[in-house]
Amino acid sequence: MMKEKTDVMIALAAAIGANCIPCFDNLYEKAKGLGVSNEEILRIAETATKVKTGASIFIKNAINDTMGIKPETDQPCCAGTQKDCC
């Protein structure tokens, strides 16, 4: 069973990934109350944003591929590269 702090940290990442500002604001207050540091919150935001950006690039490339267009952007991570992402 997850500890409450871990649960809130995961929810923060999901709120960031979903672009839900009211969710983030509410969870931020809970996180601070549970002792989550600003550094931890910034790291959560960085990771969630990388995942969100990667997903956006993948869908753009999938649409281009379906239409027979060469992808214009490379994925920032995954797909066998060594770049840091998610």
* pLDDT per residue as tens digits for the range 35-55: 999 999 999 999 999 989 888
> All domains of the chain, ordered by start, with CATH?
4-66 (1.20.1290.10)
Asked whether 27 and 39 are in contact (CB, 8 A), the reply is no
Burial of 35: CB neighbours in 10 Å, binned 0-12, 13-18, 19+: exposed
Indicate yes or no: pTM above 0.85. no
Alpha-carbon distance of 36 to 29, in angstroms, equals 10
Residue pLDDT, tens place only, 52-81: 988 888 888 889 889 998 866 666 555 555
CB 74 within 8 A of CB 61: no
The whole-angstrom separation of Cα 6 and Cα 58 is 28
DSSP letter (8 states) at residue 51: H
